[in-house]
């Protein structure tokens, strides 16, 4: 009898997995004709000293292999296949649960290029720090080479990257979040440009040493971006945007620099298609900080009869000018990496349906019958659970069952309202851009900028109450310009100037209209004034009408607000006093915020564009005039 048949079932499975990986390596590597890519991969392998190198081909068997490897390692567990087909639950180390902004660096040659909102390190100094850490970092592990395309493969707006990692979790998630594999190498060809991404969990394995279910290096975490050389080096964290280098690192921090250099926009924005009952469609992009309702809005079921929303993307938009002078956008991602807590059939039924199969859940709780659960998923929690830290949990517990930043990774194609245009290579034309955040007061329900410059001003002064998507205290108010504070790869003052320059590249009539929205305004008792969720379609209807030239508005000191009766409230029980408060221009509140805006602007020094200084001065004059007119000041 052959010796392999005397192996245990687990050992036989390991042999089979390694054989599949070897075949994957052979097939994908055969497609690579790029000498610089081959040389870089060899250099990294020499430095990191992995047990083997696998070139990912992007196939379904390869994805299945990654899931099996995670289950074998104790990183993941299979969910009930009747409830969640082909889905797993992953639980991370408690010290590796969110973006680590304090360990995220922009390593530009000049500190001034990184600006005051980024942590800066000299690139040569940072490489001297990182190289010893990466040396031998992959001992005992497999080094995976992931060719990926951000955007539809071959799209004129898409970009190619290569991520090297020692994490099956990263490979599996990148399969969902980007277009991965051999077709990308074919498109890259022998001389195409690509972003270099190097990632390691920073936990080398000595011979016969046991592995951790979630290997990471809590003492040494670095997420480093080298914008001039289009490189990303990430060490020590295996979580989310720290490790899935195609996401925030490439699609925003590096791409924002590429966009500045090449004359386009890489933005932290959802993209949705909005169709009225007559069948006319527009596309809207919207920037909100993480965990502020972007995914909910992108997949919303409108409550207004006859209106339809289709999802193009829920997190990132890349926008370039078309031949007609309009901005066209693609979603560079292929999946959703959504915040789970707060997602429910009430708040986002389409996200819930999208995640019914072929999904990776991270740091959620698990039910006795093998399904996932998180806070607000159901009106009442299950009577018993195992929480994200593998501890028994009941509703009497004072702690959360799921981590507040628990996530679901789900293919975008599974979204019930995915747009038929979501993978259109040339992108979709953007008619409106929305900015917003969590504000309990001052900011009205919706406000239209009078110009692209004022819209840029509104984006530059965005502020929001912080959420669990980033490590740190929750609930503080911070300015988050364009929802790009953690993601802009260069000086934010230059970023503002780039937005103004983009607006000057075409006729003003061809630019998207810009709006500032706030679903989260509260009354004096702390209750939300606006019902949100599907009712936000009423605000989108007014925005649609403003784009079409039929919506009624009134000029105010802060911009154009809906005229009385312009928001369709048919069938909605909301008091007149509530609507009046939602659309009230809080002149005193805005005046009180002016010092904070000036302090915010001071950070950018001489790089703050004069146009934004002028907008702030004009706003102050209008507010003071309004206050005098009201007899308040």
Question: What distance in Å separates the CA atoms of residue 152 and residue 426, rounded to the nearest whole number?
Answer: 9
Strands (E), 390-511: 392-393, 407-411, 428-436, 446-448, 463-465, 477-479
Contact 205, 139 (CB under 8 A): yes
Structure tokens at 583: 């659309």
Q: How big is the chain, counted in residues?
A: 633
Closest CA to 455 of 435, 469, 440, 480: 435
State yes or no: is 292 an active-site residue: yes
Report yes or no: 159 and 254 within 8 Å, Cβ to Cβ.
Answer: no
Within 284-333, residue ranges assigned H as helices are 294-298
Q: What is the DSSP letter of 382?
A: -
Rg, Å, the chain Cα set: 25
Could you give the 3-state DSSP secondary structure of residue 446? strand
Helix runs in 215-321, H state only: 240-243, 255-262, 294-298
The catalytic position among 56, 216, 224, 292 is 292
**Cβ proximity of 119 and 104 under 8 Å:** yes
User: Which residue(s) pair with 90 in the sheet?
Assistant: 76, 362
Give the 3-state secondary structure of 7-51.
CCHHHHHHHHHHHHHHHHHHHHHHHCCCHHHHHHHHHHHHHHCCC
Question: What is the three-class DSSP state of 425?
Answer: coil
- Distance, CA of 436 to CA of 517 (rounded, Å): 5
Residues belonging to the active site: 292
């Amino acid at each position: 009898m052959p010796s392999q048949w005397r192996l245990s079932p687990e050992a036989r499975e390991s042999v089979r997995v390694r054989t599949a990986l070897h075949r994957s390596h052979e097939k994908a590597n055969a497609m690579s004709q790029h000498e610089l890519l081959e040389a870089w991969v060899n250099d990294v392998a020499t430095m990191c000293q992995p047990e083997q190198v696998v070139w990912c081909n992007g196939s379904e068997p390869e994805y299945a292999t990654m899931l099996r490897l995670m289950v074998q390692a104790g990183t993941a567990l299979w969910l009930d296949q009747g409830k969640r087909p082909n889905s797993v639950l992953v639980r991370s180390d408690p010290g590796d649960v969110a973006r680590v902004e304090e360990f995220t660096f922009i390593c530009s040659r000049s500190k001034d290029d990184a600006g005051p909102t980024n942590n800066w390190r000299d690139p040569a100094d940072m490489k001297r720090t990182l190289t010893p850490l990466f040396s031998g970092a992959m001992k005992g592990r497999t080094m995976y080479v992931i060719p990926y395309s951000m955007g539809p493969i071959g799209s004129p707006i898409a970009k190619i990257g290569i991520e090297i990692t020692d994490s099956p979790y990263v490979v599996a998630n990148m399969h969902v979040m980007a277009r991965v594999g051999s077709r990308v190498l074919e498109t890259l060809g022998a001389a195409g440009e690509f972003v270099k991404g190097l990632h390691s969990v920073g936990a080398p394995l000595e011979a016969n040493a046991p592995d951790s279910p979630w290997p990471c290096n809590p003492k040494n975490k670095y997420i480093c971006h080298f914008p001039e050389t289009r490189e990303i080096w990430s060490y020590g964290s295996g979580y989310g945007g720290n490790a899935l280098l195609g996401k925030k690192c490439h699609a925003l921090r590096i791409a924002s620099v590429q966009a500045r250099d090449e004359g386009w926009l890489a933005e932290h924005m959802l993209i949705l298609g909005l169709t009225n009952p007559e069948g006319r469609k527009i596309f809207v992009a919207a920037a909100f900080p993480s965990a502020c309702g972007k995914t909910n809005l992108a997949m919303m079921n409108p409550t207004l009869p006859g209106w339809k929303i289709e999802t193009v993307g829920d997190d990132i938009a890349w926008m370039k000018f078309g031949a007609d002078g309009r901005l066209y956008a693609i979603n560079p991602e292929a999946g959703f990496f959504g915040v789970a807590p707060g997602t429910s059939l009430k708040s986002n039924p389409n996200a819930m349906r999208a995640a019914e199969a072929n999904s990776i859940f991270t740091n959620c709780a698990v039910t006795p019958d093998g399904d996932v659960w998180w806070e607000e998923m159901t009106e009442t929690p299950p009577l018993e659970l195992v929480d994200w830290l593998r501890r028994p949990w009941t509703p009497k517990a004072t702690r959360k069952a799921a981590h507040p930043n628990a996530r679901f990774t789900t293919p975008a194609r599974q979204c019930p309202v995915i747009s038929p245009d979501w993978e259109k290579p040339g992108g979709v034309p953007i008619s409106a851009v929305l900015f917003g955040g969590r504000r309990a007061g001052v900011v009205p329900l919706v406000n239209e900028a009078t110009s692209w410059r004022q819209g840029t001003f509104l984006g530059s002064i965005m502020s929001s109450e912080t959420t669990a998507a980033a490590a740190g205290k929750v609930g503080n108010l911070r300015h988050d310009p364009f929802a790009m504070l953690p993601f802009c790869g260069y000086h934010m003052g230059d970023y503002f100037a780039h937005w103004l320059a983009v607006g000057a590249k075409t006729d003003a009539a061809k630019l998207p209209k810009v709006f500032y929205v706030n679903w989260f305004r509260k009354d004096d008792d702390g209750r939300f004034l606006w019902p949100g969720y599907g009712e936000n379609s009423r605000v989108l209807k007014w925005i649609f009408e403003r784009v079409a030239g039929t919506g009624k508005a009134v000029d105010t000191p802060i911009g154009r607000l809906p005229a009385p009766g312009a928001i369709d409230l048919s069938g909605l029980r909301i008091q007149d006093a509530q609507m009046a408060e939602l659309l009230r221009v809080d002149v005193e509140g805005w005046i009180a915020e002016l010092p904070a805006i000036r302090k915010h602007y001071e950070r950018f020094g001489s790089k703050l564009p004069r146009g934004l200084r002028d907008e702030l001065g004009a706003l102050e004059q209008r507010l003071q005039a309004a206050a005098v007119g009201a007899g308040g000041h």
